[in-house]
Chain A
Amino acid sequence: GAVVSQHPSWVICKSGTSVKIECRSLDFQATTMFWYRQFPKQSLMLMATSNEGSKATYEQGVEKDKFLINHASLTLSTLTVTSAHPEDSSFYICSASNQDTQYFGPGTRLTVL
């Protein structure tokens, strides 16, 4: 139980385009999901908290207009990287809480050319 999926697992896009990443909790409902970013050989940094039915809350320094988050249902949150640039290339990971424990998706590797 407590499985979180992400799609796509990797994506390559051109600079200036937008990319949408989906995060799904497969066998439980999650009112709160989280989005993290991980640069090579570094730790995970929390970007934002996704709340079902309400606006996401962003960590300091994260541009909310660049990283659009939608949590339309209790099992789905999406992160859209708008007008992507090469510096947005990173590993994006989502998580969802189930009974005090956070479970993580497999991550999405974004490369912006």
Chain B
Amino acid sequence: GIQVEQSPPDLILQEGANSTLRCNFSDSVNNLQWFHQNPWGQLINLFYIPSGTKQNGRLSATTVATERYSLLYISSSQTTDSGVYFCAVAWGGSEKLVFGKGTKLTVNP
């Protein structure tokens, strides 16, 4: 099956800093989503981005499908950005999502 690798596994920032999270995948995908899991466990949709670039406020994402990676950018980080960020992909025409292991982000005041 497809492999999804996220890096870094842990990231500690000071409030106001910028960061880049990476997601590599081992095969062509028909779906790629980025999520933020808050401390209560809720998965919050950030982006549906199987290819291209999108921006939403301080967050943006880019997926280069031909090179099999996606990047999530967080600018001017805030303490409320803390949590685990997951990349998940679907492949082979399936709707099933395969999750990476996540990046745990801690933003200190």
Interface residues of A (CB under 8 A from B): 2, 32, 34, 38, 42-46, 49, 91, 93, 95, 97, 100-104, 106-107, 109
Contact = CB atoms under 8 A, between A and B. Distances in A.
**Chain A facing B: main interface SS:** strand
B1 to A, nearest CB: 10
Interface string B92-109: 000111111110000000
A46 B96 contact: yes
A45 to B, nearest CB: 8
Contacts of A91: 41
B88 to A, nearest CB: 8
Contacts of B69: none
B40 A104 contact: no
A41 to B, nearest CB: 9
B42 interface: yes
A100 B97 contact: no
B96 A49 contact: yes
